[in-house]
Amino acid sequence: MQQRFVGKAVLVTGGGSGIGRATAIAFAREGARVVVVDRHGDTARATVATIASEGGTASAFEADVSSFAACQAMVEHSVATYGGLHIAFNNAGIEGPFVPNFTDYSVEDWDRVIAVNQSGIFYAMKAEVPAMRRSGGTPIINTASAASFLAAPAMPAYIASKHGVAGLTKAAALDLIREGIRVNAICPGYVETGMMAALVGMDEAARDSFVSQAPINRVADPSEMAEVVLFMASDAASYLVGSLLRADGGLTVT
């Protein structure tokens, strides 16, 4: 196994489950010291326990990224625990409810999804950059989505938020590359996560219908997304700036 991140302090939001959990574990396996952030402290601690069982180094931190103060606190925790912050994977997100009638989508649900998925990315980067400036040549990877390029019914806040993450990633990339901070986003398609389960429920016919939309004709494992994120964080991706890397099995090709 490669050891590309030895000595690096890595912060992963949404690290208690799904893509975030898989990525935190993958970073630790390659020598990183990982701050696992999740709004559910128990799931963050479970990820840390898995990392520790493999001989890795990690620390759990409970935070809701819809709060700028919480984002500042998670960065302060990384600096206090590991002496700095070298890599950030801003992955926390929620799907929100599925509401077939557009006008029935509540203002409260809209505000919550935008606060976590879009404002949370902005808050995280705003908090991370001062610490990352001191590290030099550091990458930020945000989680956008295939939904950054497509629309779907019944989930307007999620679609809008992921379009917003795409634009925010590109805007931040232009501002921050002058300081040696590379900002890019991974755009997953259908991945075997709790969010995917919420999307299709337990109905096998619905699941098959979703899966068939991607030319690869299967759902990705979270570990496959983790491999993409680690590439984006590595020196091999040193010329990658403002990219929206589609890891969606061909879902957005057509």
For the chain, the DSSP string reads: ---TTTT-EEEEETTTSHHHHHHHHHHHHTT-EEEEEESSHHHHHHHHHHHHHTT-EEEEEE--TTSHHHHHHHHHHHHHHHSS--EEEE---------SSGGGS-HHHHHHHHIIIIIHHHHHHHHHHHHHHTT-S-EEEEE--GGGT---TT-HHHHHHHHHHHHHHHHHHHHHGGGT-EEEEEEE-SBSSHHHHHHHTT-HHHHHHHHTTSTT-SPBPHHHHHHHHHHHHSGGGTT--S-EEEESTTTTT-
Q: What is the pTM of this model?
A: 0.96
Q: What is the pLDDT of residue 202?
A: 56
> According to the model, what pLDDT value does residue 20 have?
99
Instruction: Give pLDDT tens digits for 181-191.
Output: 999 999 999 99
pLDDT band with cut points at 50, 70 and 90 for residue 39: very high
Q: What is the pLDDT of residue 199?
A: 65
- Structural domains in the chain, CATH included, are 9-191+221-247 (3.40.50.720)
To the query of whether residue 239 is one of the catalytic residues in this protein, the response is: no
Q: What pLDDT digit, counting tens, does each position of 84-143 carry?
A: 999 999 999 999 999 999 999 999 999 999 999 999 999 999 999 999 999 887 999 999
Point out the catalytic residue in the list 123, 158, 190, 239.
Answer: 158
For 130-177, the pLDDT digits (tens) are 999 998 879 999 999 999 999 999 999 999 999 999 999 999 999 999
Mean pLDDT over 206-222 rounds to 87
Which pLDDT band, with edges at 50, 70 and 90, does 34 fall under?
very high
